[in-house]
Amino acid sequence: MRRLGKVSHYAKQGFLILRTGWVPSLNDRVVDKGLTVVGVVKDVFGPVKMPYVAVKPRVKNPEDYVGAVLYVDSRRKKAKPDGSRKKRGNKKTRRPTPRKRG
């Protein structure tokens, strides 16, 4: 668990805005100190040294988190099940021969 920063305000677009000293990855899970999932990182903007982070909340009252310190969950994300990936074999598919025009 890595400290992300303190929530400065709740934007009218529906994002929690906070400032951090490092750049998190997009779609990283954001939690509070009790490890409750607050939302996910949707945007990183501003100066490189101290960027702003927009978190899309997944809680009922995101305004309650203004002033709270949030963290990025460092646990591994769930991998997709093997059945969801498209498997490509070494089969060569025959392309149809082009037809003559004219």
Asked if residues 56 and 39 have their Cβ atoms less than 8 Å apart, the reply is yes
Three-state SS letters, 30-99: EECCCCCEEEEEEEEECCCCCCEEEEEECCCCHHHHCCCEEEECCCCCCCCCHHHCCCCCCCCCCCCCCC
Q: What is the CATH number of domain 2-72?
A: 2.40.10.230
Identify the residue with better confidence: 64 or 85. Answer: 64
Whether the predicted pLDDT of 3 surpasses 90? yes
**pLDDT higher for 83 or 13?**
13
- pTM for the whole structure: 0.72
Per-residue confidence (pLDDT) for residue 85, from 0 to 100: 60
- Phi, psi at 15, each rounded to 5°: -115, 145
High-pLDDT (> 70) share of the chain, %: 84
Q: What is the pLDDT of residues 24-66, one digit of tens each?
A: 999 999 999 999 999 999 999 999 999 999 999 999 999 999 9
